[in-house]
Structure 1
Amino acid sequence: MAVTAASVQTREYSPVDITSHDFWSRPFAVRDESFARLRKAEGLSWHRPLPSLFPMQEPGFWALTRRADIAYVSQHPELFTSAQGVALDPMPAEIQRVASFFLTMDPPQHTVYRRLISSAFTPRNVRRIEEQIHRNAVAIVDDLVGAGDIDFVEACSAPLPMLTIMDMLGVPPADQPAVAKAAEKLFSMSDDEYSSIEERAQDTINEILLLSSTGAELAQFRRKNPGDDLMTSIVNAEVEGHRLTDEEIGAFLILLASAGNDTTKQTTTHAMMALVDNPDRRAWLTADFENRIGPAIEEFVRWASPVLQFARFATADTEINGQPVAAGDKVGLFYCSANRDETVFDNPGAFDLSRSPNPHLGFGGGGPHFCLGNQLAKAELRNLFRELLFRLKTVEFGEPDLLYSNFVHGVKRLPAHVQ
C-alpha cells in the first residue's frame, strides 16, 4: 500500500509522550514505564518530532521499542539507510556527516571505511593499547585509594576512556584538556549547564571543528613523521586503493572522542552504582572475577544502555512487523527500550551479572553498524573494575546529578566517599 505525503501529515501521534523535555527529564526507570506501554501495545508507534537546535522541521518518527524490530531494521541497511543521518532530533545531514563519519554511510561504502579502520588495529597495536589501558586503570585507582570524598565521574569514570583515545591517536599532552572538554561538551550539549539554547547550534559546530582539526593535524604529523603507533597505521591503511584523508581522520577522532568515550564512561558509572546497591552481586563477581567478568560486562552494558537511541530513514515503502512504513519515514531505534524487552529478558529490571543469554543492544542492533569499538570498551571495563573491586575497601555514593539528554544515559556528577 502506497503512503502519500498527505497521509503522513495526517497520521495520528501516539498519546504516549516520548518526545518532550519533560519526558527526558525523568529518571530512566520512569521513562521505561512509557516504553513498556509501547512495547506491550503495537511496538511501533508514530510520534511528534524531537525539538531541534536547527531551523528545520520534520513530520515525526516511528518509535521502535521492541528488540526484534530494532534488530530487523539494523540488519537491513538496504531498506533503512544511515546516509540521510542517524540523529533522531532533526539535524542537517551535512553536519551529521562531519560529526559521525562512517556512521552515516551504508554498505558498500561503509564496508570499505570499516575495513580501513579495522586494518590499523593489528595484533601489535591491540596489545599495546591493552597495556596502556591496564597502566591507566592502575594509575586512576592509585589516586582513589584513601582519597575520601570525590566526584566519582570526574575521578574515575571519565579519565580512562579519554586517556585510551589520547594514547591511541597520540594526542599531545598540551592538547588533551581541550580535546577532552570538546568531547564532553559535544555529547552534553542538550543540558543547560553546558550550553544555552541560543548557543547550542553554534557550540555544536565549534566542538566538531576543534576535534576534527586536531585529528587532521595528528594525521599530517604522522604522514611526515611515521612512528610505531596506531595513528601511523591509520594514515597508511589502504583498502581497495582507498586511503583515509586527513579530513576523514579528523572525523574519526570526533567519533572516537564522543562515541568511544562517553559510552564507556557512562557504563562505568551506572555499573558501579548498581554494584554498590547490590553487594551480593559484587561478592559473586569478586569470588571468581576472571571467569565472571565477561558475562558481567554484558550486563553492565545492558543495564547502563549508554546510547539511548539512533535513527534510520526508510528507503522504500515497506513494513516493520506488519506496520506499513513509507519511503522517507524516520524510524527511531530505542536501544534503551530493547534492553528492557520483557519478551527477551527474564526480569529485565534486575541487575543480573550471570544473565545468559544476554542479547542486549548496547553495542547496536547488529548489522553493518555493530559497534566497532566493543572490544576496546570491554577491555577498559575489565581492567578498571578489576582495580576498583579489589583495591577499594569502601565505596559509598550520594545522589547522582543526571545529564539531561535524549541520546546519552548520562551522569554528570556522582558524589562518592572512597577508601
Structure 2
Amino acid sequence: MPVEEHDPFEDQFASALRQAGGTFESHRLDLAARGETRGRKIRRRRAAIAGGVTGVALVGLGGALVLPGIQTDGGRRHSVAGSPSAPPTPAASPTRPSAMSADDVVRTLERLLPKGKFSGEEGRGTGEQLPPYARVVYDDGKGKAAVAVMVDRVRPGGSQALETTACPDKVFVPYDACTSGRLADGSTLMILQGYEYPDRRVDTKLWSAELVTPKGQHISVQEWNAPAEKGAPVSRSRPPLSPDQLKMLAGAAAWRSVADAIPADPRVPTAEPSRSQGVPGGSVSATLATLLPKGAEVVKKGVADPGFGYVVIDDGKGASMVQVNVQADMSGLANQLFGSGSRTLPDGTRVATHQGPGDKGGRGVVMWTVDTMRPDGRRVVISAFNSGTQHTPATREAPALTPKQMETIATSERWFSRD
C-alpha cells in the first residue's frame, strides 16, 4: 500500500519494533509500495503517541499482523495488564532508575510544560509492553491543544537513529518548515512544522520534535492546534509551543531518566541488521531512472537507497510518481502475494497486477502496481500514480507508465546486477 494521509499502520509500529525485534522486518518490507522511510516513520511515531495507540496492523498485498491492544482504566490508558507478551519489570539497579508509572510520566510532562490547565491525561509507564508515553490536553489560555511525548531507546548511530532525526521528503510528507542538526551534547534533533493530514482537508497542524542522544535515548514530542489529533475542531491558529520550546521540552533531562528506566529487552538485537535486500551496491532511484521508456523526463528523484526508490516523471501530460521496492528472499510470502489472477512467466517469475485508488481523499489519485517475484524469492514491486506525490490531486487521467511498461521495468535483470 502507498503511504497515505491516514495512519492505519503508522508507527504504533516503530515502537513495537523494539519489542518484536527482527520478526517484523520481512512483514514490514511486504508493503506493496514502501513509501519514503523517514516520512512514513514520522507519521508512525505520530500515531504511536497521539492517543496511546498500541495495536499494529501491517497491511500488504496479502495478510495482516496485529499486536495486542490496550485497555482503558478510569480514563487513563495503559498496556493490557498481565499480557503474556509483556516483559516483567525487574527491580531497579544502580545503573537503571526505578520504574516509572503512567502517572509519573504524565506528571513529568505537565511539570515541564508552561503554566496552564490540563485535562484528558493518558499515559503508559516504563515497565509495560510498549514504550512509555504521556498525552494531555493543555490550555495556556489561548485554546486547548493536545500535547504528547513518547520515550524509547534506539541503537546509537544506527539507521533508525539517523532516519528518526532527518527531515522527511516532501514528496511523501508536506510541511511548512523542518530543521535538523546536532546539539552541543552530541544529540541530534529534528523540529518539524507540518500537518495532521497531508492533503490538508482539515487545517489541523502537527508540530513535532525528534531527539536522539548519543546513548540512544529517543524522545518524541508532538503537539496540535486542536484538543485532539483527529475529530476535534481547530481551537487555535497554531500549536502552543514554539520550535524553541519544543526543543527545550524534548531536551529536558527528565526524559532521559525515563528512557534509562525502560527495562532492557533481550529480544532486541544489539547489532545493526544486515541489508539482505535491495540493489547490490546501488540506488533503486538511479536504477529506475535508467529503465524508464523514452520520453519520460525525470523531474525529481529519490535519495540513494538499495531497497526503495522513486522518480517523478513528466511525459508532457502531467507529473506521475513511480516508486519501486527491491527485496531479497521473499519466497515465504509467495502464496499470499500471488494468488488467483497472477501469472507465471517462462523463466518462473510470478507476476501480479493491481489497479485501484491511490488515496482516500477523493482527489482522483489512482495507483497501478506490478508485483514480481523470481523463483529464488527476489522480489521487485513497482507502483505508479497519476500524480506527482501521494498527497496532492491527480495531475493526469492515468499514470505515465502502462502496466506492460511497469512489468518490463520490474522484470529487468538490472535490479540484481552488480555492473
The question of a shared fold, defined as TM-score above 0.5 by the shorter chain, is answered with no
Structure with the largest fraction of strand:
2
Query: Taking structure 2 as the reference length, what is the TM-score of the superposition?
Result: 0.24
Query: Taking structure 1 as the reference length, what is the TM-score of the superposition?
Result: 0.24
Structure with the largest fraction of helix:
1
Asked which structure has the greater RCO (Cα within 8 Å, sep 6+), the reply is 1
